[in-house]
């Protein structure tokens, strides 16, 4: 591979890392400030210790998001985030949404949005699996460490 191709690929991987990390950093910090919305979703899915799990999810999203952004232990962080995306897709975004006393059309719209989030999570998991396969590229802590 030529140096130009290598530099181009590393820039593309840097861009991918920034875009993927942004979602988890922007989702993780609010969970640490006010976990109540996430705790409600967790409790609604029937999982125990909803508030504790919301904080754990927030910490995981921030720490793994930073690891992806900086390119530190990228393959491990990317694989963990792929699993996280698959888990959240199937546990929280798989199926209809029915809010009591909402009009049927509103519930249908919420169900449609939930389906979009399901497939977004599946697609993002695929992106993370690709990153887990190839690593962070040269413009990363992993790249500097060899």
**5-21 per-position pLDDT tens digit:** 888 999 999 999 999 99
List pLDDT tens digits, range 46-83: 999 999 999 999 999 999 999 999 999 999 999 999 99
Where residue 3 falls among pLDDT bands split at 50, 70, 90?
A: low
* Percent of the chain whose predicted confidence (pLDDT) is above 70: 98
Instruction: List C-alpha distances in Å: 84 to 23, 60, 62, 108.
Output: 13, 9, 13, 26
Tokens at 27, concatenated: 């989702």
Q: Does the global pTM surpass 0.75?
A: yes
List pLDDT tens digits, range 94-125: 999 999 999 999 999 999 999 999 999 999 99
Q: Is the pLDDT score of 2 beyond 80?
A: no
Q: Is the pLDDT score of 26 beyond 60?
A: yes
Where residue 32 falls among pLDDT bands split at 50, 70, 90?
A: very high
């Amino acid at each position: 591979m030529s140096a130009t191709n290598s530099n181009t690929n590393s820039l593309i991987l840097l861009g991918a890392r920034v875009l993927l990390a942004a979602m988890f950093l922007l989702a993780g910090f609010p969970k640490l400030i006010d976990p109540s919305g996430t705790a409600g979703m967790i409790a609604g899915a029937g999982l125990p210790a909803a508030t504790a799990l919301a904080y754990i999810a927030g910490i995981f999203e921030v720490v793994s998001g930073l690891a992806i952004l900086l390119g530190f232990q990228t393959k491990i962080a990317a694989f963990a985030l792929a699993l996280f995306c698959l888990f959240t897709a199937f546990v929280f975004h798989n199926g209809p949404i029915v809010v009591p006393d909402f009009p049927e059309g509103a519930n249908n719209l919420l169900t449609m949005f939930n389906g979009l989030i399901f497939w977004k999570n599946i697609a993002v998991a695929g992106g993370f699996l690709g990153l887990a396969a190839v690593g962070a590229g040269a413009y990363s802590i992993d790249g500097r460490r060899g």
